Amino acid sequence: MRRALTGALGAAVAATLVTTATPAAAIDDVNTTQLRKAVTVNGILKHARALQVIANQNEGTRASGLPGYEASVDYVTKQLRRSGYSVKKQAFTFSFFRSLSEPTLSQVSPTATDYETDIYSYSGGGEVTGVVVPANDNVIPATEEPSSTAGCTPGSFDPAPAEDAIALVQRGGCDFAVKVDNAAAAGYDAVIIFNEGNPGRTELSIGTLGDPKDIPVVGLSYADAVALLEQAAAGPVTLSVSTEVETDPNRTTWNVIADLSPKDLKKVKNKDQVVVVGAHLDSVPEGPGINDNGSGSAGTLAIAQAMSDLKLTKKLSRPVRFAFWGAEESGLLGAEHYVASLSDQQRSKIYANLNFDMIGSPNYVRFVYDGDGSSGGPVGPPGSDVIETIFTDYFESQGLASEPTDFDGRSDYGPFIAAGIPAGGLFSGAEGVKTPEEAAVYGGTAGEWYDPCYHQACDDITNLSVKALNELGDAAAHATLTLTKSKSGLFPDGSRKANAAASAKAQALSAPAPARHQGHAATR
């Protein structure tokens, strides 16, 4: 789909994303028919199947830091170089984590019970059997609106009563890591984080702790937690938690960055207006990641190849740069590294970012990032509203509905909008539940996830909608060519200068920083 944005990045996002929309500017029409015809479902599936083969040959995963990801990098690099792009692999290090076995959570006494659970990314490993102690500020029953701040202060936890004790704390109000650090400081040997209990936050849910912890951390549903709390109120309850993990604080991984060839770049008029078209290439360790995000990577690669084959790269108004990000599932780390590695001058030349993170979900909706904030979420940097209209106008021209989705920080556009760079893109849906209203418009099954195999081993080549790949693949191709060929660009004078006043106002009006999630999994 991982902790909240903090520090300079979080402050930048808060300053950039505001809740007052600015009017969208008009962008001149670009005929994208030729490119859309060239970007076929078969072409996208060719790359998706190649990624599946790579996963099959590498323990069923393409996660950053493992051989399957390195093979994915090599595959994409080879394909791009064959198409004439100037390609580099940008190395960086990150804190690697994976679970080596299924975590367990069971009640030893007074009643033997096994609970459905899962592990939080960067949990510590080990086996702990001890008395369960609820945090002081769990909110039971949960309220309609998010209200829990359980575990967010040191006072949330009484000192651990025994050598082996397990803290039980509710989701909400702060980063998961804060809750775990406070529990560990109070002497607890393991932590169970249960879902908040308000609408949409009842099932078993996990996220990331951001950095490695020394104690096991697992999840629990709200209903199971309530039952456990009732038992604990009547007398001591002993639980057993088991996790087995692999961590490495300095694992190397890569972004793949493909630019126009020097020869093609010479022909581009506006060389200082680079359009970065990106998708994350890594999967979660649990599976091959063919929808998340083999679909976005395969679609982006197919667009790059088709533009080259049609010689469109020789006729652009502004340069296109194709990017395949590493370690997104560990926290947008590849995109963060890329943006942070740019000098101020280099960063100023990034004209816009298009992000394609999942375009083949089986139970899909045509989601478009809400650049103007019209659905009530935060507004993207000036120009994001125009990018949104490129997609929505395209879908409308094809007689297809679309839905806005908030700039919530859940994918690789996050570091770009934090730097004030206009962004937009498509999303076919992850672990969200399709509504009856959406099913009536888009088909599929109401009450089920948009991607039933999200972050699971079954996210394989069978976990794709060819209809979604066709519709969203065409829209992605249309937006890529429109932004790179448009003469007017996002703004009337073809630059961001026309929006200087709007940008200054945006800096003055701050909104809460959005959560950043591991591979689209919630952090609070």
pLDDT tens readout for residues 421-459: 999 999 999 999 999 999 999 999 999 999 999 999 999
Residues 6+ apart with CB under 8 A from 371: 379, 380, 383, 384, 385, 386, 387, 388, 407, 422, 423, 424
CB 135 within 8 A of CB 150: yes
- Asked if the model's pLDDT at residue 155 lies above 80, the reply is yes
Q: Which residue has the higher pLDDT, 18 or 350?
A: 350
**Residue 478: CA count within 13 A, CB half-sphere:** 24
Give exposure, 493-516, as e/b (b: 16+ Cβ within 10 Å): ebebeebeebbeebeeeebebbbb
pLDDT in tens, 22-80: 334 458 899 999 999 999 999 999 999 999 999 999 999 999 999 999 999 999 999 99
Give SS3 for 219: strand
- Residues 6+ away with beta carbon under 8 Å from 315: 267, 485
Q: Report the pLDDT averaged over residues 94-118.
A: 96
Each residue of 330-355: b (16+ CB within 10 Å) or e? bbbbbbbbbbeeeeeeeeebbbbbbb
Q: How many CB atoms lie within 10 A of CB 387?
A: 27
What was the pLDDT predicted at 350? 98
The pLDDT value recorded for residue 496 is 56
pLDDT at 18 over 60: no
Instruction: Give the pLDDT of residue 506.
Output: 44
pLDDT over 70 at 10, yes or no: no
Q: Which amino acid is at 84?
A: G
Single-letter residue type at 127: E
Q: Which of 8, 144, 11, 1 is nearest to 514 (CA)?
A: 11
- Kindly report the average pLDDT of the chain as a whole number: 90
- What is the spatial distance between Cα 366 and Cα 191, in angstroms, rounded to a whole number? 38
| Overall average pLDDT of the 320-331 stretch | 96
Please, what are the domains in the chain?
7-14+65-97+248-508 (3.40.630.10), 101-243 (3.50.30.30)
Q: Which positions are catalytic?
A: 328
- Binned at pLDDT 50, 70 and 90, residue 4 comes out as very low
Amino acid at 19: T
Cβ atoms of 81 and 247 closer than 8 Å: no
What confidence tens digit (pLDDT) does each residue in 268-296 have? 999 999 999 999 999 999 999 999 999 99
For the full predicted model, state whether its pTM sits above 0.75.
yes
The yes-or-no verdict on residue 399 having pLDDT over 70 is: yes
Residue-wise pLDDT for 165-221, tens only, equals 999 999 999 999 999 999 999 999 999 999 999 888 899 989 889 889 999 999 999
Mean pLDDT over 417-421 rounds to 97
Residue 287 CA to residue 210 CA, distance in Å, equals 20
